[in-house]
Structure 1
Amino acid sequence: MEIETIREVTDEVVAAFARLLPQLSSSADPPDRASLGRVVAAEPNTVLVARSAGRIVGTLTLVTVPMLTGVRCRIEDVVVDSSARGQGVGAELTTAALRLAREAGAGSVELTSRASRIAANRLYQRLGFQRRESNLYRYPLSGPAELP
């Protein structure tokens, strides 16, 4: 298995994300070349992919942001193709992201995972992630046009 950073959005990358993203979120539209390009080009983002036998079988985005209190890193959009699950793809991607975060000077890495993703939650705990008690708030900007 090979882990690589996506630096250019090719037809192969577009096709792989069109296959992978629906496996992560039923509400997300498959990304087009332009939207993938914006994500890859965004300075805080490092988009990793895993290849098995030359085929992209997983992805993860590491978001790195320097803050006044230190470098913050967050793992987002982790998805492994259903045909490659149980083969260590998620662990390889996550470990690569942790190495990059350490190199960036982050003191920790955060991620969220739905409780229904049992295998993913087991993986994160096995890799050393610790569950935190926290309140997560979300403000839906798709609601009323007028803000409070």
Structure 2
Amino acid sequence: MRMVSLPGSGRSNHSRWPTSARLAAACCGLALNDSAMRRARSRTMRSVAEADSANPEARIEVCEQVGDELVGAFARLHPQLSSSPPPDAAALERIVGHPANTVLIARDGADEIVGAMILVLFPLASGLRAWIEDVVVDEAARGRGIGAALNRRAIEIARQAGARTVDLTSRPDREAANRLYARLGFNQRNTNVYRLDL
């Protein structure tokens, strides 16, 4: 796939994007570069560090930098979500630093990180879309509304950014999670999800 540098994209690692992404951005009227994406994300998240009014026990924050605390939190939380190895500091730097990603963390009353998720915003020819991935709440903190608080904040950010839809997937055996998504207004789509291992 041919890669192009977008005008005004600067010299960052994310300044080169596939031609298809540039065309999608043009159709959406969006500038796909680091500075523009970060400015847009900043405008939508001025209140993100505030406590969620519906759950004062959970304070939802946008992760802007990677430190030992975050690395340790993902080392503890990620195995509760996936059998893949947890991301190390370098991987988290790439995740947090990517202009399409918003990494949300949840803190409890003791200021411990007890949950996390990644919201991805990406422009397509059909409009700006959002995808929620890697939602995890510590087993010891479940049942306290922390997953709901993370999802509500992600939906708020996506809506303020102008996304048309928010999508996610959830295994059928995750009954509590599926009930949560239904309560939050998500509708189950009549579609197939395919994956190709590379």
User: What is the TM-score of this pair, normalised by structure 1?
Assistant: 0.93
**% identical aligned pairs:** 56
Structure 1 counterpart of 2:91, from 35, 38, 48:
35
What is the 5 A alignment of 1:32-111?
32-52=88-108, 53-111=110-168
In the alignment, what sits opposite 2:192? 135
Equivalent position SS for 1:4: strand
User: What is the TM-score of this pair, normalised by structure 2?
Assistant: 0.70
Supply the AA of the counterpart residue of 2:144: Q
CA separation in 2, counterparts of 1:2 and 1:106?
A: 24
Aligned length: 140
Structure 1: runs of 5+ lacking an equivalent: 142-148
In the alignment, what sits opposite 2:67? 10
Supply the AA of the counterpart residue of 2:157: L
CA separation in 1, counterparts of 2:164 and 2:123?
A: 11
Equivalent position SS for 1:100: helix
Aligned-pair CA distance for 1:63: 0.3
Equivalent position SS for 1:9: coil
Aligned-pair CA distance for 1:96: 0.1
Report which of the two structures shows the higher radius of gyration computed on alpha carbons: 2
User: Could you report, residue by residue, the CA deviation over 1:13-57 in whole angstroms, capped at 9, with x for unpaired residues?
Assistant: 00000000000012x102110001100011110000000020000
Aligned-pair CA distance for 1:66: 1.2
Moved over 4 A (4+): none
Equivalent position SS for 1:93: helix
Supply the AA of the counterpart residue of 2:124: M
CA separation in 2, counterparts of 1:135 and 1:34?
A: 34
